Amino acid sequence: MSNQSLGLSDALHAYLLEHGTCEPDVMRRLREETARHPKSNMQIAPEQGQFMALLVRMLGARRTLEIGTFTGYSALAVARTLPDTDDAQLVACDVSEEYTQVARRYWRETDVADKIDLRIAPALDTLNELLDDDQAGSFDFAFIDADKTSYDAYYERSLDLVRPGGLIALDNMFRGGNVTDPPPDDESTRAIDALNRKIAGDERVRVSMVPIADGLTLALKKR
Ligand code: CA
């Protein structure tokens, strides 16, 4: 999966980064370290981080959820926009101690580390715990970017956890372009294609599939 917006020439992408994003130094260094990682394509594109940060600001979000944290770039992009209030929080779900150690190292350099509540566990367990803890409807924003065959379950839990008027963003909805003709043996792409079809007709949300990075679907929970 590409972590640069699909279909942009290298020159236009470079122009976008130079004139369309303003990435703090700590995020640039985190991105550059992650680019040397064997799974670097799991990192979101900087233009996507910038876009999600703007969305979260527009929502006036205080409580946000992230499913799939990896080395922490997207969490940092979002957490930086949260207000300095006691309830400002980003609950970050990931299964990897190894990857999230990189995340923690960079988060600690910033003043938002205390706002990020990293839960190392299968995300479904964490989401179910939040629901059992009466936190349904208490989040403003959720970002889903983890194992693709579980996306539908993450989406359903997120729909319960965000408030009416809250936003769910789902990453990699293009699957590198493969959704137009999912290979029979590619379970992940087939799962995303099925979810794209489901969300397009989902009466509970208002939807826009945005062709940024590898396709970012925005689903706004109806009031
Ligand atoms: Ca992704």
Kindly write down the DSSP assignment for every residue of 201-223, as one continuous string: T-TTEEEEEE-STT-EEEEEEP-
* Interval between CA 173 and ligand 1 midpoint (Å): 9
Beta carbons of 174 and 131 less than 8 angstroms apart = no
Does CATH place domain 10-221 in 3.40.50.150?
Answer: yes
Q: What is the mean pLDDT of the chain?
A: 95
* Interval between CA 48 and ligand 1 midpoint (Å): 10
What distance in Å separates the CA atoms of residue 7 and residue 13, rounded to the nearest whole number? 9
* Interval between CA 195 and ligand 1 midpoint (Å): 15
The predicted structure's pLDDT at residue 7: 84
Which of the four pLDDT bands, split at 50, 70 and 90, describes residue 5? confident
* Interval between CA 151 and ligand 1 midpoint (Å): 12
CA distances from 93 to 29, 123, 166, 177 (A): 22, 5, 19, 27
Half-sphere exposure of 147 (CA within 13 A, CB side): 11
What distance in Å separates the CA atoms of residue 67 and residue 92, rounded to the nearest whole number? 6
Which of the four pLDDT bands, split at 50, 70 and 90, describes residue 2? low
* Interval between CA 93 and ligand 1 midpoint (Å): 14
* Interval between CA 157 and ligand 1 midpoint (Å): 19
What distance in Å separates the CA atoms of residue 165 and residue 217, rounded to the nearest whole number? 16
Beta carbons of 202 and 33 less than 8 angstroms apart = no
* Interval between CA 170 and ligand 1 midpoint (Å): 9
* Interval between CA 3 and ligand 1 midpoint (Å): 7
Lowest mean pLDDT among 1-10, 46-55, 95-104, 213-222: 1-10
Beta carbons of 167 and 199 less than 8 angstroms apart = no
* Interval between CA 42 and ligand 1 midpoint (Å): 5
Burial class (CB in 10 A: 0-12, 13-18, 19+), 173: buried
What distance in Å separates the CA atoms of residue 119 and residue 131, rounded to the nearest whole number? 15
**Tens of pLDDT, residues 155-168:** 999 999 999 999 99
* Interval between CA 104 and ligand 1 midpoint (Å): 19
* Interval between CA 55 and ligand 1 midpoint (Å): 17
Is residue 3 predicted with pLDDT exceeding 70?
Answer: no
* Interval between CA 215 and ligand 1 midpoint (Å): 9
* Interval between CA 201 and ligand 1 midpoint (Å): 23
Q: Which residues of 57-90 are buried (b: 16+ CB within 10 A; e: fewer)?
A: eebebbbbbbbbbbbbbbbbbbbbbbeeeeebbb
| pTM greater than 0.85 (yes/no) | yes
